[in-house]
């Protein structure tokens, strides 16, 4: 039977519960266990697809096409395994499912209540679709004490009771604030948070205490006493300068060892292999050559909104021994400038990532034009491909009103709505009036690459699978005229219908992709496009 680890958070938000869950998963995987991580988000949105990335961080897309919380990205990067659409659910979706069941008459006229109907729906999610995992780690979003979290905490309490308390462990991630004037880490907020959990019937079994300096033995003893937890399960989670050092930190603190002891599993029979994590930490600290990259984005410096992209770039940089610096360029700020050259001083690679809506697009196209004309390596991701096409159509081909129908109608529609495509064997149709939520082309689709292309020299294979999240696409009616001007489609869906990759001839590196390669990069398997882009940027800088 699977063992369940429930991860909750207390005191404040943004403590890195997701990172903690991912790290515990990585440590158990390093001991050879089969691990699954799931996320329960109490908020009322049906899914994160339409939530602002500025408020909530990026929308992460799984291989099977779910728009999920960015924590699923951490899980994939730490565990080097795919998450599934069934690994993340929100409060909104839970209530939606319950209300749909009520409408269908599934409850046979019974009164529909938080307990048991909503709690049962949550419990069903926790246990659904498992395939003999040794450990199921369930992260509960939000902070203990939130109104939205209540029913989720009740559901996990019941779950532990149903499967037997010894098969479930509650790990609480909390904060020990450091008060400079008295030079002390304070334990009181944590005591209150643990009590708050206890009021809901949940006794925490382990505390991961976020703190800026190590916890003294006296403080650990105090927490153990007041929180009713074994002292050895009070774990200091001291800040690290890089999240990929967390597995080493938690391993040294004995987290996985204590987890196995809790479940009465003999750790000697499952010895850990931490080598790859140790090597990664060394690689991160030994980068040498500098390379400066600009990301031209709508939101300015908002690394959470572009989490996977930021991570993918770093994975490749560490792998190529590059000390990469990212300059976040607010696209709108470029729009009023006569000369944007000073912004890109020392920059030897420009990326325009995925995006939605018109704001900032003029600035993004200015940056693309700058990269194209000045032979600076350019990598356009999704919207970055679409804007590169618009820029090319307007300034090289001379189609002055070239645009995307996403925000201009009528225009010369060089980017337009894809009305049909095959998804999981079925024909999907979209129209200009389709709902904004749940109507994108999502998840992994195959792409065939032209043999003599830059893309082929990067991937070194004919067929690839990459993840998508877009509604619009390149209009192939203009393809011939682009080609005669030096812009080529070098990757397409295998039926030849949908363009997936474009590149420019006579440029050191100008690549646009309709998909999001950043979702598939891990620190142990950096994505080849990012690695090749950074190498091109290094060359452009004379390296
Ligand atoms: N807004 C564009 C579309 O919907 C691009 C989306 C993206 O960059 N992810 O097609």
Same domain? 259 vs 301 = no
User: From atom 7 of ligand 1, which residue's Cα is the shortest distance away?
Assistant: 354
**Is position 390 within any domain?**
yes
Ligand 1 centroid – CA 423 distance (Å): 18
Pairing of strands 412-417, 472-474: antiparallel
- Identify the domain boundary among 237, 262, 280: 280
Element (H, E) at 171: strand 168-175
| Per-residue pLDDT reduced to its tens digit, 346-384 | 999 999 999 999 999 999 999 999 999 999 999 999 999
Query: Radius of gyration (Cα) for the chain, nearest Å?
Result: 25
User: Has 278 been annotated as catalytic?
Assistant: no
Same domain? 317 vs 264 = no
Report the chain's mean pLDDT, rounded to a whole number: 93
The pLDDT value given to residue 67: 92
The pLDDT value given to residue 333: 94
Domain with 391 in it: 287-417+472-540
Whether the link from the prior residue into 229 is cis, omega within 30° of 0, is no
Supply the pTM of this predicted model. 0.93
| Per-residue pLDDT reduced to its tens digit, 155-214 | 999 999 999 999 999 999 999 999 999 888 899 999 999 999 999 999 999 999 999 989
Same domain? 272 vs 298 = no
- Section 82-109 average pLDDT: 95
Cα distances from 220 to residues 21, 205, 274, in angstroms, run: 22, 14, 27
Ligand 1 centroid – CA 472 distance (Å): 6
| Per-residue pLDDT reduced to its tens digit, 397-426 | 999 999 999 987 788 999 998 765 555 556
Same domain? 245 vs 167 = yes
Any atom of ligand 1 within 6 Å of the Cβ of 472: yes
* The Cα angle at residue 414 between residues 483 and 355, in degrees rounded to 5: 110
User: From atom 1 of ligand 1, which residue's Cα is the shortest distance away?
Assistant: 356
User: Has 518 been annotated as catalytic?
Assistant: yes
CA distance 470 to 402: 19
Same domain? 109 vs 202 = yes
Provide the CATH number for the domain around residue 220: 3.40.50.300
Closest approach atom of ligand 1 to CA 469: 9
Name the percent of the chain lying above pLDDT 90: 86
Closest approach atom of ligand 1 to CA 381: 8
Catalytic residue among 227, 500, 518, 527: 518
Asked if the model's pLDDT at residue 302 lies above 80, the reply is no
Catalytic residue among 314, 382, 406, 500: 382
**Is position 508 within any domain?**
yes
**Is position 426 within any domain?**
no
Name the residue among 283, 358, 350 with its Cα closest to residue 323.
283
Q: What secondary structure does DSSP assign to 319-375, as a single string?
A: HTTEEEEEEEEEHHHHHT-S--GGGGTT--EEEE----SSTTHHHHHHHHHHHHHTT
Ligand 1 centroid – CA 449 distance (Å): 21
The answer to whether the CB of 5 falls within 8 A of the CB of 135 is yes
Which of 360, 379, 469, 475 for mutating ligand 1's site (highest number of atoms within 8 Å of CB)? Answer: 469
Residue 59 three-state SS = coil
Write the CB contacts of 373 (distance below 8 Å, at least 6 apart in sequence): none
The answer to whether the CB of 489 falls within 8 A of the CB of 434 is no
Same domain? 212 vs 130 = yes
Q: How confident is the model at residue 437 (pLDDT cuts 50, 70, 90)?
A: very low
The answer to whether the CB of 403 falls within 8 A of the CB of 412 is yes
Asked if the model's pLDDT at residue 534 lies above 90, the reply is yes
Same domain? 207 vs 225 = yes
In our burial notation (b when 16+ CB lie closer than 10 A, e otherwise), range 165-195 reads eeebbbbbbbbbbeeeeeeebebeebbbbbe
**Is position 488 within any domain?**
yes
Cα distances from 534 to residues 164, 342, 380, 507, 518, in angstroms, run: 51, 21, 14, 15, 14
Same domain? 101 vs 249 = yes
Which of 472, 473, 518 for mutating ligand 1's site (highest number of atoms within 8 Å of CB)? Answer: 472
The pLDDT value given to residue 29: 97
**Is position 329 within any domain?**
yes
Any atom of ligand 1 within 6 Å of the Cβ of 415: no
**Is position 342 within any domain?**
yes
Number of neighbouring beta carbons within 10 Å of residue 104 = 8
Provide the CATH number for the domain around residue 510: 3.40.50.880
User: From atom 8 of ligand 1, which residue's Cα is the shortest distance away?
Assistant: 354
- Beta bridge partners of residue 502, listed in sequence order: 489, 512
CA distance 51 to 67: 10
Number of folded domains that form the chain? 2
CA distance 281 to 270: 23
Name the percent of the chain lying above pLDDT 70: 96
CA distance 469 to 476: 19
In our burial notation (b when 16+ CB lie closer than 10 A, e otherwise), range 377-396 reads bbbbbbbbbbbbbbbbbbbb
CA distance 319 to 271: 27
**Is position 318 within any domain?**
yes
Same domain? 326 vs 384 = yes
- Beta bridge partners of residue 140, listed in sequence order: 40
User: Has 199 been annotated as catalytic?
Assistant: no
What would the two tokens of residue 194 be? 């643990």
The pLDDT value given to residue 12: 86
Ligand 1 centroid – CA 382 distance (Å): 6
Same domain? 367 vs 512 = yes
The answer to whether the CB of 379 falls within 8 A of the CB of 351 is yes
Asked if the model's pLDDT at residue 131 lies above 60, the reply is yes
- Burial-class residue 91 by CB neighbours within 10 Å (0-12, 13-18, 19+): buried
**Is position 372 within any domain?**
yes
Any atom of ligand 1 within 6 Å of the Cβ of 519: no
CA distance 64 to 472: 20
Closest approach atom of ligand 1 to CA 357: 1
Same domain? 44 vs 83 = yes
């Amino acid at each position: 039977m699977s063992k369940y680890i429930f991860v909750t958070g207390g005191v404040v938000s943004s403590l890195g519960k997701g990172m903690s869950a991912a790290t515990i998963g990585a440590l158990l995987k390093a001991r050879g266990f089969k691990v699954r991580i799931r996320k329960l988000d109490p908020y009322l949105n049906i899914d994160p697809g339409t939530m602002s990335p500025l408020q909530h961080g990026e929308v992460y897309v799984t291989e099977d096409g779910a728009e999920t919380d960015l924590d699923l990205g951490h899980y994939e990067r730490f565990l080097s395994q795919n998450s599934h659409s069934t690994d993340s659910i929100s409060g909104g979706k839970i209530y939606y499912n319950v209300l749909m069941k009520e409408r269908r008459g599934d409850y046979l006229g019974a009164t529909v209540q938080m307990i048991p109907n909503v709690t049962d729906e949550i419990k069903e999610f926790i246990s659904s679709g498992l395939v003999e995992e040794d450990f199921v780690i369930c992260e509960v979003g939000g902070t203990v004490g939130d109104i939205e979290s209540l029913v989720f905490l009740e559901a996990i309490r019941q779950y532990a009771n149903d499967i037997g308390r010894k098969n479930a462990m509650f790990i609480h991630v909390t904060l020990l604030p450091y008060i400079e004037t008295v030079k002390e880490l304070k334990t009181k907020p944590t005591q209150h948070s643990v009590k708050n959990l206890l009021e809901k019937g949940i006794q925490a079994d382990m505390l991961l205490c976020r703190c800026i300096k190590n916890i003294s033995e006296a403080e650990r003893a105090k927490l153990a006493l007041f929180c009713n937890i074994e002292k050895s399960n009070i774990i200091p989670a001291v800040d690290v300068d890089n999240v990929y050092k967390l597995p080493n930190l938690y391993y040294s603190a004995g987290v996985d060892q204590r987890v196995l002891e809790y479940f009465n599993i003999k750790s000697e029979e499952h010895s850990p292999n931490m080598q790859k994590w140790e090597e990664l930490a060394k690689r991160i600290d030994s980068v040498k050559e500098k390379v400066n990259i600009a990301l031209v984005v709508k939101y300015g410096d908002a690394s959470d909104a572009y989490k996977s992209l930021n991570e993918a770039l770093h994975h490749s940089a560490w792998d190529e021994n590059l000390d990469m610096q990212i300059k976040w360029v607010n696209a709108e700020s470029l729009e009023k400038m006569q000369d944007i050259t000073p912004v890109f001083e020392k920059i030897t690679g420009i990326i325009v990532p995925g995006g939605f809506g018109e704001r900032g697009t003029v600035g993004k196209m200015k940056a693309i034009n700058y990269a194209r004309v000045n032979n600076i390596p350019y990598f356009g991701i999704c919207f970055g491909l679409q804007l590169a096409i618009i820029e090319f159509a307007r300034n090289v081909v001379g189609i002055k009103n070239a645009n995307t129908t996403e925000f201009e109608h009528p225009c010369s529609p060089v980017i337009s709505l894809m009305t049909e495509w095959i998804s999981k064997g079925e024909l999907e149709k979209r129209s200009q009036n389709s709902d904004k939520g749940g109507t994108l082309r999502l998840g992994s689709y195959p792409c065939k690459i032209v043999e003599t292309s830059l893309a082929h020299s990067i991937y070194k294979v004919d067929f690839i699978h990459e993840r998508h999240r877009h509604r619009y696409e390149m209009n192939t009616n203009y393809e011939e005229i682009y080609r005669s001007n030096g812009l080529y489609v070098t990757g397409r869906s295998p039926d030849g219908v949908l363009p997936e990759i474009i590149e420019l001839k006579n440029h050191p590196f100008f690549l646009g992709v309709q998909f999001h390669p950043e979702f598939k990069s891990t620190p142990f398997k950096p994505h080849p496009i990012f690695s090749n882009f950074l190498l091109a940027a290094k060359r452009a800088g004379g390296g």
